[in-house]
Structure 1
Amino acid sequence: MKLKKVIRNESFTQKQEDEKYTKEVYVNYLASISAVLLWSASFIATKLAYRTFAPIQLGEVRTIFAVVIFGLIRRATKNNERISKEHRKYVAVSGLLGITLYFTTENIGVSMTSSSNAALIVASFPAITTLLEFFIYRSKPSVRKIIGIILALVGVTILTHSNVLYGTKSLWGNVILICAGIVWAFYNFITRKITNKYSAITLTYYQMLSGAVFFVPFVFIEDAPWRLPNFTSISSLIYLSVGCSVAAFLLYNLGLRKLSASVSVSFLNLVPVLGLALSVLILGETVSIKQISGGIIVIIGVILSSI
């Protein structure tokens, strides 16, 4: 009888642990999706901010704003957590990759092509990440994930065919944005090594701080004149700083706690769909049947690749 009771207790405990884990995973999925929602409007905000900011200037200023905000949050919550010496190199490299290099390549790419086209290219990031995971970690994606990624890319191809801008400048902008996808994949790989070691606020704060420092030489290389921002550009800057650099990064790093890098990045397939929807709502653009069809295929691909 005692043995049966012990078995029942162990079974009940295991069930509780499973339920707790499932809830945590749902929270991580919700966090990743929320980050994508915020990032979907970033391309429109970036274009508007370019009325007074140069691309790298914008990256530096929004990162400095984010550092200040995170510093205030840490002070308000009495968060005195520090990065240990053994992990500082990971934080520095992730800050260089995910903040400095990613924002630099993304901002330059967006300045050379349309905001909708930039959002479409971001949808190729999951395929880039999965491919790099295979070569670096020898991880083999499941058949379902492969089908999902292929469907997502087919959907993106349909969307791109409907919106892509032609010309040399646009082509180079697309290439630079693809390079941003490679940088973002490596940011995921590095951050995964330390994401469970520290709170999301601590990790993101020090990543932003490192990124702001690494931005300095790039600003001097850009050598663009500083102009007084207008209402539109400053509003866009606030959105990019608070919504994208602070809230979205916190949510995305939270999602990485339980989700693999490729699964987390797979949600970025939703960016072109949401980006097009926001373009309609904010900029008054029209959407064709071909674009709607491509968006539906992308969503199906995301579901298959992230289950």
Structure 2
Amino acid sequence: MWMATRVDITSSGHFHQVLQRLKISAVSEDEMNNKTKGLMSVLIPVITWGISFVSTEYLLDYMGPMSIGAVRFLIATGILYIMMRRTGTSLKIEKKDHLLFILAGGIGIAIYFYFENTGIKYISASPAALIIAAIPIFTLIFEALIYKRPVKAMDTLAIIVSIIGVMLIVDIKIGEFFSSGESFGYVMMIGAVASWIVYSMASKPLFKRYSYLTIIFYQFFYSMPFFLIAMPFESNQWHLLGPVGIAHLIFLSLFASVLGFYYYAKAMDLLGVTESSVFINFLPIVTIVFSYFYMGQIISIKQLIGGLFVMLSVTVTTLHEKKLGLAN
């Protein structure tokens, strides 16, 4: 009788251990699925935003920086509202979160695009892309300071490698940074980097309380006053846009704004702010490839090598995080 009881207890303990292992395995599988979803999600903004540089460059010949943003996000906000009504997504948000939406929409979207579009008017796309590529570095620093995220050596190494890759892609000369005639453009691009960090940090707390549609709808909504106030002070040649210009505006509104921001929000939720921002370094690659087919620009060997560096950095980060997930 005593022996039988002992066997039962041992069997029960073993069964409990098996259950625990199954639970851990299920959690790990869920984490891996979220990782895969996050990686698939971040590809959409990388592609659409990479192409958007070409669309914006075209439109700047006919419209001001804030006017482009006003039309782009007005259309996008309308599309999001229709989507929310049809899907039954709630429009209610807590009063305490209005400030986060204002920060993300006003500074992270409106002011960001003012800085970026204005900067491109004063400096070439190459140094502009290089400065934007610094976003992951500053995001990593700010996330570590604000959210106490531990900075892994592999994260730092991957970001450094990706920056080197972007430098090869844009093929910039260091001396250009010290050109006084272009200093204003560089200041604008640095402002764009700071604005995007505000967007990332202000967006992160919202994921726990709202759907992706709700988040980007209110971010777009709160960006509109900033765009509309500045719009009358810009010189626009609406009559010269033509079908091509309208097509670029539709692309920026539907693909770069609605789809791009929706899936970037999803990626930030599933991958984290820092890892999502690392994928921004893919933007110059997409821009170069699209410019080659759309504008006939030639891709150099140095740019191809730089592209491999960027891909390597993202791969290293992803595999390292995946390894840590399996280990835990």
Name the SS of the counterpart of 2:208 in structure 1.
coil
- Pair 1:63-2:70 in alignment: no
- Pair 1:224-2:238 in alignment: no
- Pair 1:239-2:239 in alignment: no
Which stretch of structure 1 is more off in the superposition, 31-40 or 244-253?
31-40
TM-score by length of 2: 0.85
Residue identity in the other structure for 1:251: Y
Structure 2: where are the runs of 5+ without partners?
Answer: 1-10, 322-328
Q: Conserved in 2, the CA contact under 8 Å of 1:162 and 1:290? A: no
Of the candidates 135, 148, 152, which is equivalent to residue 142 of structure 1?
Answer: 152
Q: Conserved in 2, the CA contact under 8 Å of 1:116 and 1:163? A: no
Residue identity in the other structure for 2:238: R
- Give the deviation of 1:225 after TM superposition: 3.9
For 2:124 and 2:244, locate their aligned partners in 1 and report how far apart those are by CA, in whole Å.
18
Q: Conserved in 2, the CA contact under 8 Å of 1:113 and 1:165? A: no
Q: What do you get for the CA RMSD once the two structures are aligned?
A: 2.2
The superposition leaves residues 50-69 of structure 1 with CA deviations (integer Å, 9 ceiling, x where unpaired) of 23221110011101011001
Q: Conserved in 2, the CA contact under 8 Å of 1:108 and 1:173? A: yes
For 1:282 and 1:47, locate their aligned partners in 2 and report how far apart those are by CA, in whole Å.
13
Name the SS of the counterpart of 1:37 in structure 2.
helix
Of the candidates 185, 189, 202, which is equivalent to residue 197 of structure 2?
Answer: 185
For 2:169 and 2:207, locate their aligned partners in 1 and report how far apart those are by CA, in whole Å.
34
- Give the deviation of 1:292 after TM superposition: 1.4
For 1:106 and 1:215, locate their aligned partners in 2 and report how far apart those are by CA, in whole Å.
14
Counterpart of 2:132 in structure 1 is 122
- Give the deviation of 1:116 after TM superposition: 5.0
Residue identity in the other structure for 2:202: I
For 1:273 and 1:305, locate their aligned partners in 2 and report how far apart those are by CA, in whole Å.
18
Residue identity in the other structure for 1:118: A
The superposition leaves residues 82-130 of structure 1 with CA deviations (integer Å, 9 ceiling, x where unpaired) of 1111212211211112221111111112233344553343222112212
Counterpart of 1:54 in structure 2 is 64
Q: Conserved in 1, the CA contact under 8 Å of 2:130 and 2:170? A: yes
Which stretch of structure 1 is more off in the superposition, 167-176 or 209-218?
167-176
Which stretch of structure 1 is more off in the superposition, 256-265 or 203-212?
256-265
For 2:24 and 2:140, locate their aligned partners in 1 and report how far apart those are by CA, in whole Å.
32
Counterpart of 2:41 in structure 1 is 31
Of the candidates 51, 70, 79, which is equivalent to residue 89 of structure 2?
Answer: 79
Counterpart of 1:41 in structure 2 is 51
Counterpart of 1:111 in structure 2 is 121
Shift in CA distance, 165/71, structure 1 to aligned 2, threshold 3 Å: farther
Residue identity in the other structure for 2:206: I
The superposition leaves residues 194-239 of structure 1 with CA deviations (integer Å, 9 ceiling, x where unpaired) of 122111011111110011123222224x332452231121111111
Q: Conserved in 1, the CA contact under 8 Å of 2:126 and 2:172? A: no
Counterpart of 1:13 in structure 2 is 23
- Give the deviation of 1:275 after TM superposition: 1.4
Counterpart of 1:172 in structure 2 is 184
- Pair 1:205-2:217 in alignment: yes
Shift in CA distance, 117/276, structure 1 to aligned 2, threshold 3 Å: farther
For 1:44 and 1:164, locate their aligned partners in 2 and report how far apart those are by CA, in whole Å.
24
For 1:191 and 1:230, locate their aligned partners in 2 and report how far apart those are by CA, in whole Å.
36
Q: Conserved in 2, the CA contact under 8 Å of 1:148 and 1:301? A: yes
For 1:169 and 1:282, locate their aligned partners in 2 and report how far apart those are by CA, in whole Å.
30
- Give the deviation of 1:81 after TM superposition: 3.7
Please identify the structure whose Cα radius of gyration is greater: 2
More helix by share: 2
For 1:219 and 1:239, locate their aligned partners in 2 and report how far apart those are by CA, in whole Å.
20
For 2:222 and 2:156, locate their aligned partners in 1 and report how far apart those are by CA, in whole Å.
35
Residue identity in the other structure for 2:63: F
For 1:176 and 1:144, locate their aligned partners in 2 and report how far apart those are by CA, in whole Å.
31
Of the candidates 273, 278, 282, which is equivalent to residue 261 of structure 1?
Answer: 273
For 1:64 and 1:132, locate their aligned partners in 2 and report how far apart those are by CA, in whole Å.
31
Name the SS of the counterpart of 1:149 in structure 2.
helix
Residue identity in the other structure for 2:267: G
For 2:238 and 2:217, locate their aligned partners in 1 and report how far apart those are by CA, in whole Å.
28
Residue identity in the other structure for 1:247: L
- Give the deviation of 1:139 after TM superposition: 4.3
